[in-house]
Amino acid sequence: STPSVAVGGAAGSNGTVSISGNDTSGTIAVNTGVGAGNGLLVSVTFVQKYGATPHIVVTPVGRPVPGMYINRTSAGFTISVDGALPPAGHAFDYIVME
């Protein structure tokens, strides 16, 4: 099953997100729009909560994303940025291990 994903304010007023994958690996696509800024870019909620906070590796695809950081819990993770991303499509691969 595919985790749920929600767009954060850092993606801008018409930013969108989508996800393909499962609770252990996948790709998140983010389309930033007008007014993109710093802060929460995307939030991912696992289909099945882990028994403890898992190890999560997130890698930008194709180009670096300076100031990117994640926060993680047993229920999911978030990707945030310290500065605004340019209006464009961005992708992030993720791997989750308990």
Supply 62's token pair: 């194709």
pTM of the model: 0.96
SS3 letters across 57-97: EEEEECCCCCCEEEEEECCEEEEEECCCCCCCEEEEEEEEE
Strand, helix or coil for residue 9: helix
Residue 11 is predicted with a pLDDT of: 96
Q: How is residue 77 written in tokens?
A: 């993770």
Q: Which residues pair with 94 in a beta bridge?
A: 26, 58
Read off the pLDDT of residues 37-82 as tens digits, 9 standing for 90 and up: 999 999 999 999 999 999 999 999 999 998 999 999 999 999 999 9
Would you state the pLDDT for residue 78? 98
Q: What confidence score (pLDDT) does residue 37 get?
A: 94
pLDDT tens digits for 20-38? 999 999 999 999 999 999 9
- At residue 55, the pLDDT reads 98
